[in-house]
């Protein structure tokens, strides 16, 4: 697969990291297999998460093909970049085509990135997850690699204006041990458990400010509770 677009996009992302002087910590990068297919399943707290989850796979020399809303591909600027990086558009009204494209990529030895919560978590805890990550990894016979991202919500998240003027923001990318996918409710529950465990670890070791809007309520922040977040999502989905 030709990758003429991905390298300059990575270079631009690294430039952004340097300009903002982000304090990026990557742990567990060795868990991303250096060859063969794998599903990278990440929690979702920011519109920029695909950049950081993909960055976590780079030490293993892998380029991640993310599944993303098809509306992004319709954007005049983002669309050509997304297609050039061979990301996979997801049209919820025709999900089977996206599933088959992702399955084909996995069987071709690609790393496919998925945000199994489907949408950004306003509560900054792990929401109920969709079954696609487990089903894809199981059918393709590839490992499922859980990823926790934390700190990215401070740059741009749902319900708040993006703020790319902040400097020195700590960002944690925590990659867990791969495990065998198991489709069905028990497999989805296990993936959610692994994601929440990783996120708990990332949050525990992160410098949190009392009353911070970007911290979950159970850690003293002012983010919506999961119940409040669900009500917000019902009124303002997307």
- Asked whether residue 221 is assigned to any structural domain, the reply reads no
Query: How much is the CA Rg of the chain, to the nearest whole Å?
Result: 17
Whether residue 50 is contained in a domain is answered as yes
For residue 229, tell me if it sits in a domain: no
DSSP character at residue 26: E
Res 238: pLDDT? 62
Residue 20 within any structural domain of the chain: yes
Residue 238 lies in a domain: no
Q: What is the per-residue pLDDT across 89-109, written as a single tens digit (0 to 9) for each?
A: 998 777 799 999 999 999 999
Q: How far apart are CA 18 and CA 23, in angstroms?
A: 9
Predicted confidence (pLDDT) per residue in 160-174, tens digit: 999 999 999 999 999
pLDDT of 214 > 80? The answer is: yes
Q: Is residue 120 part of a domain?
A: yes
The distance in angstroms from the start CA to the end CA of the chain is 32
Task: Decide if 220 is inside a domain.
Answer: no
Task: Identify the CATH number of the domain in which residue 51 sits.
Answer: 3.40.1130.10
Q: pTM for the full model?
A: 0.96
Q: Is residue 228 assigned to a domain?
A: no
Name residue 67's beta-bridge partners. 88
Q: What number is the average pLDDT over the span 174-190? A: 96
36 lies in which domain range? 5-209
pLDDT band at 237 (very low <50, low <70, confident <90, very high): low
By the 10 Å C-beta count (0-12 exposed, 13-18 middle, 19+ buried), 94 is classed as exposed
Number of domains, the chain: 1
**Per-residue pLDDT at 2 exceeds 90:** no
């Amino acid at each position: 697969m030709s990758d003429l677009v991905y390298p300059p996009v990575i270079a631009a992302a690294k430039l952004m990291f340097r300009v903002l002087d982000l304090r990026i910590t990557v742990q567990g990068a060795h868990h991303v297999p250096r060859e063969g297919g794998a599903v990278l399943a990440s929690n979702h707290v920011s519109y920029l998460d695909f950049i950081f989850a993909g960055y976590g796979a780079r030490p293993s020399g892998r380029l991640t093909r993310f599944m993303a809303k098809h509306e992004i591909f319709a954007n005049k600027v983002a669309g050509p970049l997304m297609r050039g990086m061979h990301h996979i558009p997801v049209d919820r009204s025709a999900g089977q085509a996206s599933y088959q494209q992702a399955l084909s990529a996995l069987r071709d030895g690609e790393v496919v990135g998925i945000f199994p919560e489907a949408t950004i978590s306003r509560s900054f805890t792990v929401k109920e997850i969709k079954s696609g990550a487990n089903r894809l990894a199981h059918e393709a016979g590839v490992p499922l690699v859980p990823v926790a991202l934390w700190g990215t919500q401070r740059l741009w998240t749902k319900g708040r204006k993006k703020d790319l003027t902040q400097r020195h923001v700590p960002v944690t990318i925590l990659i867990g041990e791969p495990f065998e996918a198991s489709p069905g409710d028990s497999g989805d529950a296990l993936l959610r458990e692994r994601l929440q465990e990783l996120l708990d670890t990332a949050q525990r070791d992160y410098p949190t400010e009392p009353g911070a809007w970007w911290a979950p309520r159970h850690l003293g922040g002012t983010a919506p509770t999961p119940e409040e977040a669900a009500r917000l999502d019902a009124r303002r989905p997307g």
